Chain A
Amino acid sequence: GQNIDQPTEMTATEGAIVQINCTYQTSGFNGLFWYQQHAGEAPTFLSYNVLDGLEEKGRFSSFLSRSKGYSYLLLKELQMKDSASYLCAVSDSNYQLIWGAGTKLIIKP
């Protein structure tokens, strides 16, 4: 079966750095997405990785290792507005997105 694992919840301090991990086992791989979702709102796109390595975009970076079935999202200089759920999704062999359950990130002042 297809499976994506993320921690359920993480807590971090304003101004700090946090790393949210995602491991996956899917039938095929055509890229990995990270989305941010604030409570009661729609998910919004953060990043996309299809090749191994690090993609940096401002305070957010995303890393992929296809051989290990592993990705992480790195958030730097945390702000209170970063309190949200972060969803990992893998595009499988049929180009369907398989979604993880999401990681709820709580930022404390």
Chain B
Amino acid sequence: DGGITQSPKYLFRKEGQNVTLSCEQNLNHDAMYWYRQDPGQGLRLIYYSQIVNDFQKGDIAEGYSVSREKKESFPLTVTSAQKNPTAFYLCASSIGAGDYNEQFFGPGTRLTVL
């Protein structure tokens, strides 16, 4: 079955540590996205990538970094520079960034920084 996987589902880290969240898709989609969701708020775009080896900052990129070395993979690193990293992180993909761009989501990773 095609889909998007994120791991782990729950992640705990100590303050000051970097942590990497994985996102893999086998839908053959070109575009991939990372969102952050806080309670009572909508989805806020962190980074997105429309093609391998290229990515763009979203609205809240500070304190985060990404890579897109393979079409299937778009890992997100939450660095110690992110001031409030505890949140629900969602990865998504779409066929492309143009025309009809329905986004398909992974199950999410809930990160708690202690």
Contacts and interface: CB of A to CB of B under 8 A. Distances in A.
A95 B33 CA distance: 13
Contact of A99 (B43, B48, B100, B110): B43
B42 A42 contact: no
Contacts of A40: 88, 108, 110
Interface in B64-114: 88, 90, 97-108, 110
A102 B45 CA distance: 15
Interface in A64-109: 87, 89, 91, 94-97, 99-102
Given A41-B107, A42-B107, A45-B103, 16 more contacts: A31-B100, A31-B101, A40-B108, A40-B110, A43-B43, A44-B105, A45-B104, A48-B100, A48-B102, A87-B42, A95-B97, A96-B45, A97-B101, A99-B43, A99-B44, A102-B42
Interface of B: 40-45, 48, 88, 90, 97-108, 110
